[in-house]
Amino acid sequence: MIIEQIYTGCLAQGAYYIESDGEVAIIDPLREVIPYIDRAKKNKAEIKYIFETHFHADFVSGHVTLSKETGAPIVFGPNANPAFEAIIAKDGQEFQLGNITIKALHTPGHTMESTTYLLRDETGKDHAIFSGDTLFLGDVGRPDLAQKAADMTKEDLAGLLFDSLRSKIMPLADDVIVYPAHGAGSACGKNMMKETVDTLGNQKQMNYALRANMTREEFVNEVTDGLLPPPKYFPLNVKMNKEGYEDIGDVLKRGMAALSPDAFELAANETGALVLDVRNQEEFVKGHIPRSIFIGLNGDFAPWVGALIADVKQPILLVTPKGKEEEAVTRLSRVGFDNTLGVLKGGFEAWEKAGKDIDKIIALSAEEAKEVLKNKHLPIFDVRKESEFNAEHLVDANNTPLDILNDHLAELPRDETFYVHCAGGYRSVIAASILKGRGIHNLVDITGGIAEMKKAGMEVTNYICPTTQ
């Protein structure tokens, strides 16, 4: 028996390759499916099943393409209603895979179709669960993503999740291994651990939601407390996962079209495409196409694209580092942004050589900012999350979180210079690019963020651990 977790850090997502006696199951595959097919071919094995734990909201799964390429059926749990052919498993239904068995445990709560898959080894012993978004390490799936489709409140779904955990998962033996669909950094939960594999016994001890003496009311209150609004692209990804989507090969072919500077500019003007610059933030600060938006590949690229662009049908033109064209288009497609129209041939350097207009962001190091600000009281805007800001921030700074920056535009001065920063310099450049795209140019980015500002001796508030807030 082979179990491999294929973890994608930028999405904090775990897909799974399971093999027994020449037969393979894939659980929650990513959009690009060739690695799974090649992995099976390498072992002279055949992909027999594609299991989906639920209709994912934060990424587009590769189930449709993988089924098309291999002929393997897609398996969902009860209540699933996809627009394509699939096996809708009954609660408790078993699937033979070589010498092992995979049993569907219907665990509604995160969504109504959410299903945990229990793997029993060659001896029939419970070995592992693939818990999707039902059970994370340190947390459980948020119960507010399916309420409209199911015509239920998040409290109703949280109650179902309580029942699912206690009737289907907690009775399992402590040595059962937990393989979740996400880890720390995912927007599908609140307080996930950085680890991506654990035993159920340890989770019973560590996970607040699995307390043995917890009442249903306590569970509902704690699970629904402090939930931030889900990213706007989530429902659009659910729709794609339920109804199907364009083949990634076609998406790549269109998205990687190399456009000369003139053709790139013409396409932007004619289609209203958003120009997305995915280079390093330091490069973007030094020069970029006017009104382009920066979201660098070296950070949490896909989640920020989803949170800030929101509409997966938005036409996009890309400015990428050399050799990163396919990676950029692929990572956009993982979160449903399939309408990439092309890439700037030769990158930003070609744009400059063509004599096109360029823009820059005024930036200061923390040391330079300290000197400028010590004799002046100029407005500073911190674009980190509210929890980060509350834990520690520059004295007199304002909190304007990046994901809701548009809600704070009225607070930004128009007649004096203001400063923006984040934790390390990535998010503040995203914010600066958005503001400049809206015609707000009287800003200065503090490079290195609060980490460098502290080193420079700029005054910050006393640190308060986020878990005690």
Write out pLDDT tens, residues 124-159: 999 999 999 999 999 999 998 875 555 789 999 999
Write out pLDDT tens, residues 255-290: 999 999 999 999 999 999 999 999 999 999 999 999
- Contacting residues for 71 by C-beta, under 8 A, at least 6 apart: none
Q: Which residue has the tokens 């090969």?
A: 249
Secondary structure of residue 223 in the 3-state scheme:
helix
The distance from CA 105 to its chain's CA centroid, rounded to whole angstroms, is 26
Residue 145 to residue 300: CA distance in whole angstroms:
21
> Taking a C-beta distance cutoff of 8 angstroms, is the pair 37, 17 a contact?
no
pLDDT of 182 reads 92
Phi, psi (deg, nearest 5) at residue 101: -125, 140
Domains and CATH numbers, the chain: 2-233 (3.60.15.10), 246-353 (3.40.250.10), 363-468 (3.40.250.10)
Write out pLDDT tens, residues 78-112: 999 999 999 999 999 999 999 999 999 999 999 99
pLDDT of 218 reads 97
pLDDT of 148 reads 53
Who has greater pLDDT, 149 or 60? 60
> Quick one: pLDDT band at residue 466, thresholds 50, 70, 90?
low
Per-residue pLDDT averaged across 188-200, rounded?
Answer: 88
> Quick one: pLDDT band at residue 191, thresholds 50, 70, 90?
confident
Name the residue among 67, 64, 61, 17 with its Cα closest to residue 42: 17
Torsion-angle region of 94 (φ positive above 0: left; ψ -120 to 50: alpha; else: beta):
beta
Q: Tokens standing for 465? A: 């651990």
> Quick one: pLDDT band at residue 321, thresholds 50, 70, 90?
very high
Per DSSP bridges, beta strands 100-106 and 94-97 are antiparallel
- Contacting residues for 62 by C-beta, under 8 A, at least 6 apart: 29, 30, 31, 32, 33, 36, 248
Q: Tokens standing for 386? A: 């509210």
pLDDT of 467 reads 57
> Quick one: pLDDT band at residue 464, thresholds 50, 70, 90?
confident
Lowest-confidence segment of 147-161, 168-182, 312-326, 411-425 by average pLDDT? 147-161
Per-residue pLDDT averaged across 311-340, rounded?
Answer: 96
Residue 277 to residue 275: CA distance in whole angstroms:
6
pLDDT of 68 reads 96
pLDDT of 85 reads 97
Has residue 369 got a pLDDT over 80? yes
Residue type, 6: I
Residue 201 to residue 207: CA distance in whole angstroms:
10
Name the residue among 176, 160, 170 with its Cα closest to residue 78: 160
First to last CA, the chain: 45
pLDDT of 318 reads 98
> Taking a C-beta distance cutoff of 8 angstroms, is the pair 286, 279 a contact?
no
Residue type, 255: G
Per-residue pLDDT averaged across 311-325, rounded?
Answer: 96
Alpha-helix residue ranges (DSSP H) falling in 245-299: 248-255, 261-271, 281-286
pLDDT of 147 reads 53
